[in-house]
């Protein structure tokens, strides 16, 4: 069994490296590389959650494993949910979904946003991301680095902003939801909304902290993941 992780907005295949290191002795972990960044920098950016789901499933299938779990933070959680829906609907397919781990992510029926971040000015976008704690100053204060990252962020934010889709099918795979108690991006109601998505077991774990709370609780979150997958 392998855990496949989907990056958050602007992230690449190294964005969960510290969490992966906590788990490497117990659970195989692969963070997918999305087009337009990292090792796939020459490929065009994807601009919808559906397109990212399609790409992710192709990547997972190439690994040739038949039992998988999924992890996604923020945008990655929406994508992970989309993958889970697709895998469960493919009855008799070669890939069996064992568990869905969601972090700092609104339930899809709550994803409608009044503010479209993809259309913000650079300054507004930097301010919004800084409020979440997701953009190091070394990037936000460097014009050349922002020239590189801005198109990636706009594509990812646009994909999330335009994804207004109430779940049409329930997820039967066990779900674990992680959240930050001081996350101003995702409310407790939006986290609890995942109950409406779950046809099977669902558990919630809240940690002190903002949107990127998981970086401060790597040991605790890795222990929950291991326990959920029967790896101790």
Residues contacting residue 193 through CB under 8 Å, at least 6 positions apart = 106, 107, 109, 110
> What φ, ψ does residue 35 adopt, rounded to 5°?
-60, 150
33: pLDDT strictly greater than 80? yes
The residue to which tokens 């964005």 are assigned: 15
Q: What is the pLDDT of residues 111-147, one digit of tens each?
A: 766 677 778 888 888 888 888 877 777 788 888 988 9
Residues contacting residue 223 through CB under 8 Å, at least 6 positions apart = none
DSSP 8-state class, residue 185: S
Residue 113 confidence (pLDDT): 65
118 vs 201, which has greater pLDDT? 201
Going from N- to C-terminal start, the domains of the chain cover: 2-111+166-228
136 vs 218, which has greater pLDDT? 218
> Could you give the CA distance from residue 161 to residue 158 in angstroms, rounded to a whole number?
5
Angle made by CA atoms 76, 3, 99, in degrees to the nearest 5:
80
Element (H, E) at 224: helix 218-228
For domain 2-111+166-228, the CATH superfamily is Alpha/Beta hydrolase fold, catalytic domain (3.40.50.1820)
Residue 120 confidence (pLDDT): 85
> Considering only 2-16, 63-77, 123-137, which range has the smallest mean pLDDT?
123-137
> Could you give the CA distance from residue 75 to residue 39 in angstroms, rounded to a whole number?
20
* Mean pLDDT score, 92-115: 86
Q: How far apart are the first and last CA of the chain?
A: 14
Residue 232 confidence (pLDDT): 60
> Could you give the CA distance from residue 172 to residue 97 in angstroms, rounded to a whole number?
10
Contact 214, 186 (CB under 8 A): no
pTM of the model: 0.95
- Report residue 186's pLDDT band, with 50, 70 and 90 as the boundaries: very high
168: pLDDT strictly greater than 80? no
């Amino acid at each position: 069994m392998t855990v496949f992780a989907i990056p958050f907005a602007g992230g690449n295949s190294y964005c969960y490296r510290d969490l992966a290191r906590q788990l490497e002795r117990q659970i195989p972990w692969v963070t997918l590389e999305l087009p337009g960044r990292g090792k796939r920098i020459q490929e065009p950016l994807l601009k919808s959650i559906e397109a990212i789901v399609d790409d992710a499933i192709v990547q997972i299938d190439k690994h040739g494993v038949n039992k998988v779990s999924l992890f996604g933070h923020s945008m990655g959680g929406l994508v992970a949910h989309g993958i889970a829906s697709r895998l469960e609907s493919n009855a008799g397919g070669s890939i069996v979904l064992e568990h869905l781990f969601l972090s700092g992510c609104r339930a899809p029926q709550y994803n409608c946003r009044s503010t479209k971040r993809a259309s913000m000015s650079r300054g507004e976008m930097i301010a919004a991301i800084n409020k979440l704690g997701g953009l190091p100053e070394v990037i936000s204060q460097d014009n050349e680095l922002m020239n590189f990252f801005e198109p990636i962020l706009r594509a990812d934010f646009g994909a999330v902003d335009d994804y207004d889709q109430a779940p049409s099918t329930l997820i039967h795979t066990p779900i674990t939801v992680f959240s930050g108690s001081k996350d101003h991006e995702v409310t407790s109601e939006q986290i609890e909304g995942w109950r409406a998505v779950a046809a099977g077991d669902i558990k919630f774990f809240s940690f002190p902290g903002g949107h990127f709370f998981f970086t401060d609780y790597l040991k605790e979150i890795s222990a929950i993941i291991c326990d959920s997958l029967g790896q101790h």
